Structure 1
Amino acid sequence: MTWKKKTKKLASAVLLTPMLFLAACGGQTDTEMSESDIENYPERDIRGVIQWGEGGATDNISRTLAPLAEEELGGTLVMENREGASGATGAQYVYDQPADGYTLLFGAENPNGLYQVLGISERDYLSDFQPVSIIGQSYAGIVVNKDSEFDTLEELADYASDNPGDITMGTSGEGGLPYVASAMLSAELGTEFNQVPYDGDGPLATALLSEEIDATVLAVSAAQEYVDSGDFKMLAVINDERLESVPDAPALTEAYPEFEKYLPWGPFQGVFAHKDTPDAIIDKLTEAFAAAQEDEQFQTTLENLGVQPLNIHGEEAIEYLEQNRSTSTWMLYDAGATDTSPEEFDIPRVDEE
């Protein structure tokens, strides 16, 4: 079954920060591995680099999956967070390590073409990494604190239109979920937010809890526990239909049908290795992570987080990434969030592929 049958053409959006253009460092691709090294892999600890901070969707999903993958690999995964520059810091770090399978990137949709159109980094999943596994596709929700004066998205949008800059919108940086969502709202509804950047879903949730910010956009998988506990109100899911995991949150198109052209859209999580990693090691990793994701408890965890399991790899994962890249980069461009056309990077629209 292909990913297209498992889920709609879900695009992801990205998530990146303004500042830095992380230059290509070339990566250490000259690592010599003997047949014995490859055959006996893994012979030491594997580093799992999470490109976002603690407590977010990517962090939670990665750390839940890691011990299951360890059992399948017969080795140890040492997980660490290397956040910064909308995830580009972690992606660059993994790219710069030896291509021997001992440093893996646990990433989200950020490096999938969005770094290029936003001028953040040269790193790209399809050019610089091999997908070990695309774990799952999730969705985003617009959330406010439980004590917020806003009970509906219409109330929030109307206020943001009439009072430009008064509402503080927490973001994960240029191109992040809140950034892209704000761009869509601005393009269609004329809203204007005061955007303040944080290092991912975890810090954003903490900021919203303490009312440092008025609103933000989180992956449903990261917001779920706060919505269930009553700490957050989810004003809408950025989708063209409601989600079973948050049935009381209306779909964005219920209030604003004009957003249908951007949807469906949402983040994804995956595991990636350096592009020059030996095929035999990629095969071992792929087999281990595929088996780990079949764990019934892990499947339940994804379901409870509102994540649609994909568990795809190889050509199927590449096909997914290609379509996701086309959809998300063109959505960002069409929403006016970047002046750089995806055409400059030979990224076609989905209907032109």
Structure 2
Amino acid sequence: MTTFFKTLRTVLAVGGIAAAASAALAQGYPARELSGVIQWGAGGATDVVSRAITPHVEEALGKKIVLQNKPGGVGAIATNFVNQQPSDGYTVLYGAENPQLHPVLGISELDYSKFYPVTIIARGVVLVVANKDKPWKSMKDLLAEAQANPGKIKMGSTGSGGLPFSVSSMIGTVAKMPVTAVPFDGDGPGVTALQGGHIDFMIVGAGAAAEHIKAGRLKALAVLGTEARDGVPPITDAVPGIAKYLPWGPFYGVFVKRDVPEDARNKLVAAYKKAGDNAQFKELMAARGNVMMNISGAEAEAFLKKWQSVTAWTYQEVGAAKKSPADLGIPKP
């Protein structure tokens, strides 16, 4: 046998062993606990959704998922961290919508196109909430005081690309809202500051504020929509021009690196799908004002691309984009 054929046989043997080992590894997945990285801080809407669904996923997978909050950079810190981990399916990203805007805002080149959507769990309802001691009874009252006293009203913010930034930018194109943004690492810390009177109002996902509103610790001035919800008037009552951007809202999803082995990825999809169908979880999500989606794969990717297109071009329109969506290959909606 020539040296060439000996070498070829060796290569094929090694390749066969590697393929068998890979198949065995995938077959035994998950063999240990997983790490779940949450983009935002404790107590925020993303954190609440992540911690609510995880026990049901653990039951389906048969393994523990250790959750950790990695806030910062409007979600970029956690997203970059997960992207740097091995592509073995043992690190999952619990994220919100923000990374879809990072390229157009010049925050990061990394968006969800570099990840596989295990699930888009739900989309959130957006509320404008105020400190309970403020005299405002409606969004109209807030706007009237902001216009009469420019810069004196303090709005909780989560940075460029965050929910308050996005919605206030939309409002700013059709009405004057001269407020001062105060940054926080997520809506959880912002809502805490709001209750303490350190800021005056905040635009948040309903999940982060629902219990505080029920308990009377915060008051809801408006819902981001064209119709009232649970007795809260639509924002279009005060800002009718914003209707051109609606419907719009945040979303919550779970992602892994795109090159995670297919078998491991499929097991994650099945586990999160089952968890999303859990009656107890669905009841909790509805109580917090979220609309269940529970989609993955191609359906989720189509949703992500449409959301990015609408929002990125809105930012371009209001002058908030640092990079043109066209230059980034993001089509107009």
Q: Same fold (TM over 0.5)?
A: yes
Partner of 2:97: 109
Distance 2:80 2:191 in 1: 26
Superposed CA RMSD in Å reads 1.4
Distance 2:136 2:52 in 1: 34
Provide Cα deviations, 1:286-305, integer angstroms capped at 9, x if missing partner: 01110111111001001001
Provide Cα deviations, 1:99-145, integer angstroms capped at 9, x if missing partner: 11000000000112x0011111111101x100000000112111101
CA deviation after TM superposition for structure 1 residue 255, in Å: 2.6
Please tell me whether the aligned partners of residues 140 and 217 of structure 1 are also in contact (alpha carbons under 8 angstroms): yes
Amino acid at match of 2:105: L
Please tell me whether the aligned partners of residues 141 and 219 of structure 1 are also in contact (alpha carbons under 8 angstroms): yes
Higher alpha-carbon deviation: 317-326 or 183-192: 183-192
Gaps of 5+ in 2: 1-18
SS in 2 for 1:343: coil
Partner of 1:148: 134
Please tell me whether the aligned partners of residues 161 and 189 of structure 1 are also in contact (alpha carbons under 8 angstroms): no
Identity score, percent? 42
Gap change, CA 1:238 and 1:335, over 3 Å in 2 = farther
CA deviation after TM superposition for structure 1 residue 186, in Å: 2.1
1:249 matches 2:232: yes
Partner of 1:14: none
Please tell me whether the aligned partners of residues 175 and 337 of structure 1 are also in contact (alpha carbons under 8 angstroms): no
Partner of 1:25: none
Q: Which has the larger radius of gyration?
A: 2
1:345 matches 2:332: no
Provide Cα deviations, 1:218-274, integer angstroms capped at 9, x if missing partner: 10111111111111111111112222xxx2211111232211101111100000001
SS in 1 for 2:199: coil
1:323 matches 2:300: no
Q: In structure 1, which of residues 207, 210, 220 is the aligned counterpart of residue 206 of structure 2?
A: 220
CA deviation after TM superposition for structure 1 residue 164, in Å: 1.6
Distance 2:318 2:59 in 1: 44
1:239 matches 2:228: no
Matches within 5 A, 1:278-293: 278-293=261-276
Amino acid at match of 2:148: D
Q: Which has the higher helix share?
A: 2
How many residues are paired up?
315
Partner of 1:53: 41
Partner of 2:291: 308
Partner of 1:184: 170
Gaps of 5+ in 1: 1-31
Distance 2:103 2:268 in 1: 28
Please tell me whether the aligned partners of residues 166 and 194 of structure 1 are also in contact (alpha carbons under 8 angstroms): yes
Higher alpha-carbon deviation: 287-296 or 180-189: 180-189
Gap change, CA 1:263 and 1:295, over 3 Å in 2 = same
Partner of 2:13: none
Amino acid at match of 2:30: P
Distance 1:177 1:333 in 2: 16
**TM-score normalised by L of structure 2:** 0.92
SS in 2 for 1:349: coil
Matches within 5 A, 1:201-216: 201-216=187-202
SS in 1 for 2:305: helix
Partner of 1:81: 69
Distance 2:273 2:134 in 1: 42
Higher alpha-carbon deviation: 282-291 or 233-242: 233-242
